[in-house]
Homo-oligomer: A and B are copies of this chain.
Amino acid sequence: MSQEPARNTFTHLPPDKQERVLDAALTEFADQGYHQASLNRLVAKAGIAKGSLYQYFPNKEGIFRHIFQLALNLVRRTLVAVKEATENENLFFRLEKSLQAGVRFLQEHPRIYSLYLKIQFDRQTPLRRELLAAVRRHASEYFGSLIARAKARGELRPGISEPAALFLLDAVFDRFLQAAAVPYLDVTFNLHQAPEEAVNRRIRELIDLLKEGLAA
């Protein structure tokens, strides 16, 4: 499969130095995207020599892979935690809590989210297929299991199209997080850097609309 991108030299380094390098790398890739990212800037930020970087990683893509894996693991852990924490609640409450958790994640790890958005729409970025496949799988499992449980508990309108419901939830959630993270994206909610209370109000409005529908 894919060989380990980090060299032994890197894992033997004192943890704080590893931290500095990874931090600089995440910042650079998140700010600039893969191709725009400059290794010269990266090493300057990390306070190491250019040559050292190539003792730690085989090349630019190797650094990227490493960051990518760390980020993906963090997301995975977070998703599992939220799902378990609301296991026995009803669908709409779970959705509300999920969206809140999403916003929290994005505020705590803005660079990871920014990196994700960059990869999503830059066809040239390495690992793009892998990333999108992984995200798709997670989203599908997550919402799929919420919907299945809701159906079993009779919380869903009968005859509903499950793929459509999944698509709808995925779309609305993703857009909500984007609007909270990216300035100028949002049409009416003004979510970017809004106070928590305002965000939560919007979440409730939105869930309510999903629940009851638009039609009279």
Which A residues have a C-beta under 8 Å from some C-beta of B? 31-33, 35-36, 91-92, 117-118, 120-124, 128-129, 132-133, 136, 139-140, 143, 154-158, 160-161, 163-168, 170-172, 174-176, 179, 182, 184-189, 202, 205-206, 208-216
Contact = CB atoms under 8 A, between A and B. Distances in A.
B164 A206 contact: yes
A120 B143 CA distance: 26
Given A121-B118, A129-B184, A184-B132, A170 B175 contact: yes
B185 A132 contact: yes
Q: Of A124, A129, A161, which is in contact with the most chain B CB atoms at under 10 Å from its CB?
A: A161
Nearest to A185: B132
Contacts of A160: 209, 214
B124 A184 contact: no
